[in-house]
Structure 1
C-alpha cells in the first residue's frame, strides 16, 4: 500500500495568541464553521429543510402531509455526500491519502454522535469540540500515539455517566 501526502497551498505557519497553527488548519476550522451555519440555515429557513426535519421526526407523518419521502431522502443523501466530499477535500492536505483514510474519522463521528446525543445537532457540534479538545490535550500532555484512543475512553466515560449522551433531545435527567 502506497500512502501519499497532498501538497497544500496553505503551509504558512501562523502564531495566534501563543498558539502555532498552520493556515490549512485555520482554513478547515473556518470552513467547517461556515458549513455548519449554512446547513443550519438551510434546515431551518427553507421548505426542503423543513421537509428533511419532518422526515427525521416521523417518516409516515411527513408522507401523509404530502412530502415526497423518496425525493427528500435522495436530497438528504446528496447533501451528506457533498458535505463529506467537501470535508475530505479540505482535510486531505493534513492527512495521508489512501483508500481507507476515512475509517478512523467515521469511528470518531460515531463517538461524537453518541457523546452529543442522537438527534441533537448542537450536541453533535459540542461533542465534536469536546472530542477535539480532549485529543489535543492528551496529545500534548500524554503522548501523540494515544490521541486516537482518547475518543473511545471518552465514549466509555460518557456512556457510564449518561447512557443517552450529554445533549439528547427531550431527555429527563
Structure 2
C-alpha cells in the first residue's frame, strides 16, 4: 500500500521536516511505500503553490493518506486530506497505523475513517485492533445517524464524532 504523509509545515521550525521524516521512516519500517512531501520539496525556500502542485501530483497516485498531528490547522494538509477523501482514498491518522497485514494497515483502537461524518473526524471505539479495508468507506457501510455526536454502524462498533 502506498501512503502519502500530510501534515503542517508552514510556520513550524525546519518546516516540520523532522516529524515528516520520522513518520516516513516508521511507516517504511512497517513495510509501506511512503510518499513524503518533505522529500518531494526539500528546498525550504520553494513557493507554497509550487510545493502543493508537486505534492498533489504524487498524492493522486497513492492508496491512502496518513495524517500527522496538527493537520487540521494546515491549509495544505487540509486540501490534501480533502482531495484524498474525495478520490475515495483511505484516510488515517498516522499514529494509529501499528502494523501491516496483507498490504493493509493494522490500526490501533483510535481509527480515523474518511467520510463517516460530514466533518470526517470520527474515531471508532471499543476496538482492540482493526484491519482497515476499503469497505470502511461510508458508501460501503450500512450506517445511521443516531444524533449529531454519534453514528451507529451495524454490528458492535460505535463512532464518536470529533474525538
For Structure 1 versus Structure 2, the TM-score category normalised by the shorter chain is under 0.3
More strand, by proportion: 2
Structure number, greater radius of gyration: 1
Normalising by structure 1, report the TM-score: 0.25
Normalising by structure 2, report the TM-score: 0.26
